[in-house]
Amino acid sequence: MKAAKIPTRWLAHALRAFGLVLLVTFLVQPHWFEPVFRPLAPANAPAIYTQADLLVLTGQHLRTVLIATVLASLLAITLAIIVTRPSCREFLPLSRLVVNTGQTFPPVAVLALAVPMLGFGETPTLVALFLYALLPIFESTLTGLANVPDVTKEAARGTGMTPWQSLVSVELPLALPVILSGVRISVVISLATATIGSTVAAKTLGEVIIAGLQSSNMAFILQGGLVVGLLAIFVYDALMALERMVTGWQHVSSSR
């Protein structure tokens, strides 16, 4: 049974490595793939998107997602910490209501409301991604902090730690793997959602997909979709590896 699992695991690793090499090669030398996409492009139309550098566009897409995730993490984690303190627990229902409001409106609706106030470009997209990223990070932080055993917190107090020291040195480190899982979910959602930012002139990979839709060029649509999909897979894997690393460090520390 164990021997049968090993080839499957290595096959999965090999496929991911191949996909990563394929993605990087396509972003650096997209014209190499022209014969692959040519059958999907209309006659006399380009098979490879060349109106912008795909590698630069991917970097801008990731940058937008990173900024929105960092801002959402700062607010969501801070808010979750505050409402889990004994003196502020009464505000938990209100904070949940506020955070859930961000998921009430579709991203397209958020963009439509934000553009008149913020103009076209990256800013409305950041607002939409920020609002959508709040809930998973907030809820995962609540869960992580709630799962810290009371006996552990009492032991921290027994050693003379202040509430702040207990939070920073005990509660947050123990809750970190669960918090990271919420961040991972938010990042993957944002990677896909960021594509709609191109409808308001934000520089994302949605630009490739929209160009394909406007020109009925299936090659462009497939290129944009594949890059976004592969990015989501590899970022997901990287964050999962980080979670396992943090969990491993905790096990090593607890065994000492």
Looking at residues 212-240, what average pLDDT do you find?
A: 94
Mean pLDDT of the chain: 90
Of 59-73, 121-135, 153-167, 242-256, the one with minimum mean pLDDT is 242-256
Of 11-15, 178-182, 192-196, 238-242, the one with minimum mean pLDDT is 11-15
Q: Is residue 43 part of a domain?
A: no
In sign, the C-alpha dihedral spanning 163, 167, 168, 171 is positive
The enclosing domain of 176 has a CATH number of 1.10.3720.10
Q: Is residue 17 part of a domain?
A: no
Per DSSP, the three-state class of 50 is: coil
What is the predicted pLDDT for the residue at 248?
A: 74
Q: Is residue 104 part of a domain?
A: yes
pLDDT band at 141 (very low <50, low <70, confident <90, very high): very high
Range of the domain at 64: 54-255
Looking at residues 121-132, what average pLDDT do you find?
A: 94
| Sequence-ordered list of residues with C-beta below 8 angstroms from that of 143, at least 6 positions apart, any chain | 178
Q: Is residue 39 part of a domain?
A: no
Q: Is the pLDDT of residue 5 over 60?
A: no
Contact 102, 132 (CB under 8 A): yes
The total of structural domains in the chain comes to 1
Residues 153-187 have pLDDT tens digits of 889 888 889 889 999 999 999 999 999 999 999 99
Q: Is residue 1 part of a domain?
A: no
Residue reference for tokens 């990271």: 180
Q: Is residue 11 part of a domain?
A: no
In 3D, which of 27, 104, 93 has the Cα closest to residue 58?
Answer: 27
3-state secondary structure 135-165: HHHHHHHHHHHHCCCHHHHHHHHHCCCCHHH
